[in-house]
Amino acid sequence: MGMPITRGIKNCRDSRLFKGCNRLHLLCNLTGNRPQSLMHIHSTVMRYITRSMSKLKNKVNFKKYLGEGLLIVFSVLFALYIDKTYEDAKTNRSKNNALIQIKAELMDNQKILKNWIADHNAILKNLNNLIVIENDSLQILAENKSYLPIQIILDNKNLLDKPLSNSAWSSAQSIGIISEFDFETLKNISETYQIQQLIMESSIEKIAERLFLKSNDIGNTKDILIELRLRFLSLHGQEYRLNDLYRETLKLLE
């Protein structure tokens, strides 16, 4: 025989109608459990739900922080890339400007050198004539004036009408932009300016020193003319080599 459905019902005014019982007491009476046990279950379930929500929240926070961290890293890397791109563009502009100035300077120097070659060839030809002529008029003139007759020796030509410039090259060296030049370009430009400097600071200077001798250093004029001819021959070779370098370097810079 089955158990009556009203078993365990207590504190009810009318057990048949279940009057006076609240829902919790009614459920407890029907299941045979005490209200305290149901409250314990409810509390346990709530704690479990709370822990689960906390874990879920932590997981969501971790994803959020990870996303923010990746965004920061990307922003920094992008900023570095922009900065590097700007610096590269700036360096490239400086390099191109330096090459443009060097090219313009070499073109001007090439024109000056052509005038040099023409004058120095004429001087060299005049020296040959003075050496061949057998008369002492030049020696006497030098002794009377206590200095060499420079205009006669140079045939009224200029030893140096205008100097060769190296300001663009010096400027590029001072700012260090030449480190950005490719090897072949740097090699040609450097060699060109080295020969140019050799001519200006050595060959021309030594010829000038010999031309402007003091009276007590004049000695035999013919020997001086022979020495000057040798020096002009050496200068002649250097000038033609420099002219070739100008042509090669300018072609490379086109």
Helices (H) and strands (E) in the chain, counts: 8, 0
| Residue range 16-39: mean pLDDT, rounded | 48
* Residue 194 domain-assigned (yes or no): yes
* Residue 208 domain-assigned (yes or no): yes
- The one-letter code for the residue type at 158 is N
* Residue 29 domain-assigned (yes or no): no
The domain of 233 spans 91-252
**Is the pLDDT score of 10 beyond 50?**
no
- For residue range 226-253, list pLDDT tens digits in order: 889 999 999 999 999 999 999 999 999 9
**Is the pLDDT score of 6 beyond 60?**
no
* Residue 185 domain-assigned (yes or no): yes
Of residues 32 and 112, the one with the higher pLDDT is 112
* Residue 34 domain-assigned (yes or no): no
- For residue range 37-56, list pLDDT tens digits in order: 545 555 665 665 666 556 55
Q: Closest Cα to residue 190, out of 245, 237, 236, 241?
A: 245
Give the C-alpha separation, 176 to 174, whole Å: 6
β-bridge partners, 19: 14
* Residue 170 domain-assigned (yes or no): yes
pLDDT computed for residue 149 by the predictor: 78
The pTM assigned to this predicted structure is 0.67
* Residue 67 domain-assigned (yes or no): no
| Residue range 114-125: mean pLDDT, rounded | 94
What is the total count of domains within the chain?
Answer: 1
Rounded to the nearest 10 degrees, what angle do helices 183-198 and 221-252 cross at? 160
Give the C-alpha separation, 178 to 95, whole Å: 7
Q: Closest Cα to residue 117, out of 244, 223, 224, 222?
A: 244
* Residue 56 domain-assigned (yes or no): no
pLDDT computed for residue 224 by the predictor: 83
Pick from 27-36, 160-169, 213-222, 243-252: least confident? 27-36
